[in-house]
């Protein structure tokens, strides 16, 4: 394929669906200190988007803007515009609890509630009124655990504590918990950094299985992981989005020298 055709294919792929989320000129300050310098990005529904970059470049800060988790940090202040399906998520009438159900989050360290496996998954659907009978709730719990690739391992011990599972199982339980409230976007902040290679491989497979059903955004320190699981990659450096594009392009033919230096291990 010649260069022009390759570009046209990439562009056609990028425009195949309207973006699920758009961010424009997002700036974040912690007190006086500016952590993001005006980030603009589109997140597509049917793709996995990876955020990469050296420690402290602002990946997690930006991820947290996408479901207003930064609201919980007293010193944090955000400027710019972020929309979910065309609605400003920072508008005064936005219900933040609803927003965080639509844009779910999985954290670096698995954080199940100190409750049963069943309750971990059932809690969200119950408080969001997604089921009216016990049978409906059972179905949601089962489907969520199936989708998170955990059902076969836990179906006979749903009343055991979620915290008694292995680290990798706990992380899949947290993914099931996010899935249970029927989100549109799932944000994952270094979801494998506390896991061993086998548990990591399972989460990566799971991300691939979930692609297409949810827009997935993953922050990762691991460039191989970004290359394996994502179709779009955003490279951040010192609070700036340096380059954003097709993952294969970013890793084989980056436009910016700073991206090239980072992916070839010259810094970071």
Ligand X SMILES: Nc1ncnc2c1ncn2[C@@H]1O[C@H](COP(=O)(O)OP(=O)(O)OP(=O)(O)O)[C@@H](O)[C@H]1O
Q: Given the rule CB under 6 A, which residues bind ligand X?
A: 30, 35, 53, 55-61, 73, 75, 221
- Of the two residues 36 and 99, which places its CB atom closer to ligand X in the complex? 36
Beta strand pairing call for 215-219 and 76-84: unpaired
Task: Report how far apart, in Å, the C-alpha atoms of 73 and of each of 20, 26, 42, 68 are.
Answer: 25, 17, 25, 10
- Of the two residues 2 and 72, which places its CB atom closer to ligand X in the complex? 72
CA angle 78, 207, 221 (to 5 degrees): 55
Q: 43, 50 in Cβ contact below 8 A?
A: no
- Shortest separation between residue 92's beta carbon and ligand X, angstroms: 24
- Shortest separation between residue 56's beta carbon and ligand X, angstroms: 4
- Shortest separation between residue 235's beta carbon and ligand X, angstroms: 11
What per-residue string of b and e applies to 170-199 under the rule 16 or more CB within 10 Å gives b?
bbbbbbbbbbbbbbbbbbbbbbbebbeeeb
Q: How far apart are CA 50 and CA 224, in angstroms?
A: 11
- Shortest separation between residue 49's beta carbon and ligand X, angstroms: 15
- Of the two residues 57 and 173, which places its CB atom closer to ligand X in the complex? 57
- Shortest separation between residue 259's beta carbon and ligand X, angstroms: 15
Q: Find how far residue 95's CA is from the centre of its chain.
A: 20
- Shortest separation between residue 59's beta carbon and ligand X, angstroms: 4
Largest CA distance in the chain: 58
213 CB-near residues (< 8 Å, 6+ apart):
147
- Of the two residues 61 and 200, which places its CB atom closer to ligand X in the complex? 61
- Of the two residues 44 and 59, which places its CB atom closer to ligand X in the complex? 59
- Of the two residues 61 and 67, which places its CB atom closer to ligand X in the complex? 61
Q: How far apart are CA 261 and CA 268, in angstroms?
A: 9
């Amino acid at each position: 394929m010649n260069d022009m055709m390759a570009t046209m294919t990439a562009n056609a792929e990028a425009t195949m669906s309207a973006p699920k989320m758009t961010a424009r000129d997002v700036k974040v300050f912690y007190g006086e200190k500016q952590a993001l310098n005006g980030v603009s990005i589109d997140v597509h529904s049917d793709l996995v988007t990876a955020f990469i970059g050296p420690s402290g470049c602002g990946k997690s800060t930006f991820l947290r803007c996408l479901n207003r988790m930064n609201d919980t940090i007293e010193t944090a202040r955000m400027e710019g515009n972020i929309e979910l399906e065309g609605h400003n998520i920072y508008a005064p009438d936005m219900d933040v609890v609803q927003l965080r159900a639509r844009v779910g989050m999985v954290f670096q360290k698995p954080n199940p509630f100190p409750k049963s496996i069943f309750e971990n998954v059932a809690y969200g659907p119950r408080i969001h009124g997604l089921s009216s009978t016990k049978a409906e709730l059972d179905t949601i719990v089962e489907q969520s655990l199936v989708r998170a690739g955990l059902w076969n391992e836990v179906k006979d011990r749903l009343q055991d504590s979620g915290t008694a599972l292995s680290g990798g199982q706990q992380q899949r339980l947290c993914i099931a918990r996010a899935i249970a409230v029927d989100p549109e976007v799932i944000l994952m902040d270094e979801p494998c950094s506390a896991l061993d290679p086998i548990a990591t491989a399972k989460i990566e497979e799971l991300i691939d299985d979930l692609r297409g059903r949810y827009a997935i955004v993953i922050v990762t320190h691991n460039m191989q992981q970004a290359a394996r699981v994502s179709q779009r990659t955003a490279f951040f450096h010192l609070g700036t989005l340096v380059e954003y594009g097709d993952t294969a392009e970013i890793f084989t033919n980056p436009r910016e020298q700073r991206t090239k230096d980072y992916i070839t291990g010259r810094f970071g």
